Amino acid sequence: MEKEIKLNGENTIYGSIRVPAAGKGKYPAILIIAGSGPLDRDGNDRKGKYPTNLYKDIAHYMTDLGFVTFRYDKRGTGKSDGEWIATGLSDLVEDAKKSIEFLQSHPNVDTEKIIVCGHSEGTVIATKLTESFNLAGVMLLSGGVDNVIEATNKQRLLSYKELQELPGFKGWLYRQLKIDVKGEKQFEKQMRKIMESDKDIVKIQLFFKYPAKWTREHHAYNTREALKKVTCPVFALQGNKDVLVDGEVLNELSNLVQGKSEFHIISNMEHGLRVQTEPKSILNMRKIFKEILKRPIHEDALKTMATWLKENYKSDEIIMDNREIS
Note the pLDDT of residue 205.
78
pTM of the model: 0.94
Q: What is the pLDDT of residue 321?
A: 39
Question: Across the 326 residues of the chain, what is the mean pLDDT of every consecutive 10-residue run?
Answer: 92 96 87 96 87 96 96 95 95 97 96 97 98 97 98 97 96 96 95 95 88 97 98 98 97 97 98 97 94 96 97 60 36
Paired with 31 in beta bridges are 70, 116
Cα–Cα nearest to 187, from 161, 169, 160, 221: 160
Burial of 65 (0-12, 13-18, 19+ CB in 10 A): buried
The per-residue pLDDT for 317 is 43
| CATH number, span 2-147+222-317 | 3.40.50.1820
CA distances from 3 to 41, 68, 69 (A): 13, 11, 11
What pLDDT does 23 receive?
67
What is the location of CATH 3.40.50.1820 in the chain?
A: 2-147+222-317
DSSP labels, 33-80? E--SSS--TTSB-TTSSSB--HHHHHHHHHHHTT-EEEEEPPTTSTT-
- The pLDDT of residue 206: 75
